[in-house]
Structure 1
Amino acid sequence: MTVKTIQILATSDIHGYIMPTTFRNDRNEALGLAKLATIIEEKRREMPTVLIDNGDFIQGSPMTFFHQKFQAHEPNPLIQVANELQYDAIIFGNHEFNYGLQTLQAVIQQSHFPWLAANIVTEDGKPFTKPYIIKEIEGVRLAILGVTTHFVTKWEEPLHIQGLHFEDAFSSASYWAKWIRANEQIDVLILCYHGGFERDINTGELLETEDGENQGYRMSTEIEEIDIIISGHQHREIHTTIMGKSIVQPGAKGGCIASIEIAIEIDDQNNRQSISHTPSLLYCTDHTKPHTTVCQLISPTYEKTEAWLDETIGTIQGDLQIENPFLARVQEHPYIEFINHIQMAVSGASISCTALFHDERGGLKQAVTMRDIVTNYIYANTLKVLRLSGQDIFLALEQSASYFTVEAGQLKVAESFLIPKAQPYNYDMWEGIDYSFDISKPIGKRVTKLMYKGAAINLEEEFDVVMSSYRATGAGNFDFLRNRPVVKEIQIDMTELIADYILKHPSIQATCNHNWQVTF
């Protein structure tokens, strides 16, 4: 009896992070595809390997923003790296569509590997790209099936996905898994799902609204034909088994890579007796050396990005730096007011809401650079003005108030905003109205003051409110916003709007009117 071993290596949610830096200050962080490339090279020496990316690959870092803004006509640097690393397949993430179909089609054409999309079809019902591929390695036939969360339609600008239909990810995965088993002679079926888990993996407890954004638990427990699930989207780090299936999710920004080692037991007559698989995560460290060839490939774009990020475009009079992100969500911070003021200025709306997207120190230094802007406003949002009723505003505020809870006399972030992933970007702060939260009250009854121009808001009156294109879709449990009338759309990336505003107002005075309070 002999045992053959092969391995699946999988990245996910790289978000354009190649070099080991988040573009703030440190240039040797434990992240980035350049470091993972070193691990990939080492693992390939050990045994035959299939390399897959699970989506959200081409968008999300300052470097991808720079490339798209200033050199989109040149070959995509992320794809150059992926080609060098000889990926076997990539799955579409929801952020692959942020730059529109023209950019995405160019990316697909530049790729030396297939992009898989079993649940994305064109208007005539044909697959957008291949649903799956078959890879044979060491005599073992692997089917690699790709599906993407169908919530893309809720988040993405319609123009960016015009002509495409996103079918239910679970239904598509189930259909194609059965079809592959019935029509292909395979040994292992790998589902690559750019989506996460709606339930606790260990207990099955529902963790979020069962609306279909994440269906990984259901796929794991109900689709018998699948052997391995590579998941993503939630930026979690998972390696476990569910009902005999190997389950992995390799975080974000290249902090780790998933490995599924497959062992094939063969008898003396060369007959296959069994196949088993074991999931694990392999982590970058400060000591992992970035891959030399990858660094050389990315260097021209990376160095231009670094230089561009350090160009000063304006100055701040006062303080727009955030030392404590949690406190900035409890007591209004001048940076938040500044972003809301920009949204109101460029849209003409008298009410605005925005979020602080991450839990790290940030804000703008006195000498403002592009680095400050793109490392604070980290998403490719545009703006929309919606016509909302006073009741809509009240409901939106109540949803944001659910961000907090009180434990042992201390104000804390509610578990629903931390598990299965942190969601600081789903807590909005408003300008143009005056309001108060009392977190000691039950959820749904926490808004204790809501005023507009000095008078209590009439819940039946209508108001024009500017917000991110993401929030305007109703994402983040703001479902009631989804079908509200769109008064205006501003199809310019928010980072560009911020930069343009500062260029027009090169000396910014930090202000804070404290129009809202949180008590408990």
Structure 2
Amino acid sequence: MTNRQSCTITILETSDLHGSMLPIQYANNAPTESGFAKIARLIERERSVNEHVLFIDNGDLIQGTPLAYHHAKKNDKAPNPMIACLNEMKCDAAVIGNHEFNYGLPFLHKAIQESSFPWLSANIVDAESGEPFFGRPYRMMELPEGVRVAILGLTTHYIPNWEKPEHIAGLRFEDAFESAKRWVADIREQERPDVMIVSYHGGFERDLATGEAIEPLTRENVGYALCADIEGIDVLLTGHQHRTIADCFIHGVAVLQPGSQGSFLGKMQLRLEKKEERWEIVQVESGLLSPVGMEPVEAITELVAPHEKLTQEWLDSPIGKLLGDMRITDAMQVRLKEHPLIEFINRVQMDLSGAPISNTALFDNVSPGFPSDITMRDIVSNYIYPNTLQVIRISGQDIKDALERSASYFETYDGGDVKVHPSFNEPKPQHYNYDMWEGIEYKLDISRPPSERVVFLQFQGKPLDRQAQYDVVMNNYRAAGGGNYTMFQGKPIVKDIPTDMAELLATYIMEKGTIEAELNSNWEVIW
């Protein structure tokens, strides 16, 4: 009888934490059952019962909550609290996510320097030398039994379509698939790992079960192709799409994705046996561990506490007063007929930029709107992204095409309730990709087929000239074509306002002292 050696490796994955270190909802400080402090308790538990545990963060760590915003904008000389938390939990590796660039390269470099773990990304390279910009494309680890584990980092290469150019100056984003193909082969040949893990801050472009395409061929996500068309990958850790994926294999590759904001901890266990001179994976199990009911790890809450105190004081700073009602009680109704909050944001954008036309979005379905006494908490609860503003020059046809893109947010109406089209809900909610406009008058008829829904479109009381050029203000994500608004890509930038929109809104309200809810009802959705 052959005496086989065996061992088990436990891989723990976080992804898209977006600064969610504590189990609170910053809009009202209500407790939540998510966040890294609770996830950390799960990590502790797994380490207490498993011998070989690898903890990998898959990116989008340092942006996303008021805590992260306040640190970046008001307290950036202090140690980064998100990095300190991962250091405390002995993270083994992290991957650069697209939102890591939101506050600029100096801020990101500082975070990396403070990290006790390596940041990996094989396909983000120096524009001149072509060498991996962040130094380490992969990490090799060897267990006491001699098992060799490779962790290769990849990042969605679509970042130049979203990020401000000055935040990524000197970088080149190589195709994630092509980079993976080259690096996996090189690592297999040179390092001879027993386990090849690819941690990819990106998601899936195809249905996991059928292989059918689920998004336009932008190559923002190439997870399915990584599994189907590259030999040598054993495990693919994913993120970016904020999905929950476990107990899943694509062309024999074990796949994991743990949601976002610390809602789950991804867990994958590999059992290996030594056969002759090689270790082989003989069994793979994966799942999503919920932090519901977990007590936060005190060491994490203590690390965050001084930063949190400053954040809370800043959030409760009074800004101004509101006459009228800008509260949101039904997000769908906001998207069907103009709401005072949307009109206000568009009006601020137009006032600050001088552009005659503006668009903006209601980013999610939990935005509360503004109360009568406005604080900074109200600003960041409604404008949750660190966007800046740009004025771009586009044609009337571009405006019409953009409205049709927005109109595709709705399923074709055939009676009953108005429904969101699945493409805006899956694989993750994309409510932020439905824009509402000011400075033009329009109607969208959602009983009509997609691309034929703009049934009324005027500018200053006359039909919009499809051939004419118009200056339109919008956030930098949209101006770069983000959200598949390809009609905006490459258009002349007439004006750039590099201040975060949350700060612009706060300053505008403070200068006014009192703002008023207004509504000109320049647009509506009909059926």
Normalising to structure 1: TM-score of the pair? 0.98
Q: Which amino acid aligns with 2:193?
A: I
Q: What displacement does 1:408 show? A: 3.9
Q: Which amino acid aligns with 2:17?
A: I
Q: What displacement does 1:276 show? A: 2.5
Q: What percentage of residue pairs aligned between the two structures are identical?
A: 47
Structure-2 residue corresponding to 1:111: 115
Q: What displacement does 1:517 show? A: 1.1
Look up the SS of the partner of 2:346 in the other structure.
Answer: helix
CA distance in 1, matches of 2:280, 2:159: 42
Relative to 1, partners in 2 of residues 1:274 and 1:191: Cα closer, same or farther, differing over 3 Å? closer
Look up the SS of the partner of 2:140 in the other structure.
Answer: strand
Is the aligned partner of 1:335 residue 2:341?
A: yes
Contact 1:264 1:274 in 2 (8 A): yes
Q: What displacement does 1:28 show? A: 2.4
Structure-2 residue corresponding to 1:19: 22
Quick one: which of 503, 506, 524 aligns to 1:499? 506
CA distance in 2, matches of 1:225, 1:488: 48
Look up the SS of the partner of 1:202 in the other structure.
Answer: coil
Contact 1:324 1:361 in 2 (8 A): no
CA distance in 2, matches of 1:215, 1:389: 32
Contact 2:194 2:280 in 1 (8 A): no
Structure-1 residue corresponding to 2:263: 255
Is the aligned partner of 1:126 residue 2:127?
A: no
Is the aligned partner of 1:303 residue 2:316?
A: no
Look up the SS of the partner of 1:372 in the other structure.
Answer: helix
Normalising to structure 2: TM-score of the pair? 0.96
Question: What does 1:241-320 correspond to in 2, within 5 Å?
Answer: 241-266=249-274, 272=279, 274-285=281-292, 287-320=293-326
Q: What displacement does 1:461 show? A: 1.1
Q: Which runs of 5+ in 1 are unaligned?
A: none
Q: What displacement does 1:138 show? A: 4.0
Relative to 1, partners in 2 of residues 1:127 and 1:270: Cα closer, same or farther, differing over 3 Å? closer
Contact 1:120 1:167 in 2 (8 A): yes
Quick one: which of 456, 463, 467 aligns to 1:460? 467
Question: What does 1:407-418 correspond to in 2, within 5 Å?
Answer: 407-418=414-425
CA distance in 1, matches of 2:277, 2:59: 37
Q: What displacement does 1:491 show? A: 0.3
Is the aligned partner of 1:357 residue 2:360?
A: no
Q: Which amino acid aligns with 2:386?
A: A
CA distance in 1, matches of 2:281, 2:406: 52
Is the aligned partner of 1:369 residue 2:375?
A: yes
> How many equivalent pairs are there?
518
Q: Which amino acid aligns with 2:10?
A: Q
Is the aligned partner of 1:6 residue 2:9?
A: yes
Q: What displacement does 1:137 show? A: 2.2
Deviation sequence 1:293-348 (CA, Å, 0-9, x none): 00001100011111211111111100001110011000110000010011011101
Contact 2:270 2:281 in 1 (8 A): no
Relative to 1, partners in 2 of residues 1:273 and 1:196: Cα closer, same or farther, differing over 3 Å? closer
Quick one: which of 146, 159, 172 aligns to 2:153? 146
Q: What displacement does 1:26 show? A: 4.3
Is the aligned partner of 1:62 residue 2:62?
A: no
Q: Which amino acid aligns with 2:257?
A: Q
Q: What displacement does 1:136 show? A: 1.3
Q: Which runs of 5+ in 2 are unaligned?
A: none
Look up the SS of the partner of 1:412 in the other structure.
Answer: coil
CA distance in 1, matches of 2:13, 2:182: 23
Q: What displacement does 1:273 show? A: 5.9
* Aligned residues: CA RMSD: 1.3
Structure-2 residue corresponding to 1:323: 329
Q: Which moved more, 1:258-267 or 1:300-309?
A: 258-267
Q: What displacement does 1:2 show? A: 5.5
Q: Which amino acid aligns with 1:238?
A: I
Deviation sequence 1:143-177 (CA, Å, 0-9, x none): 00001000111111010010000000111111111
Q: What displacement does 1:275 show? A: 3.4
CA distance in 2, matches of 1:227, 1:278: 13
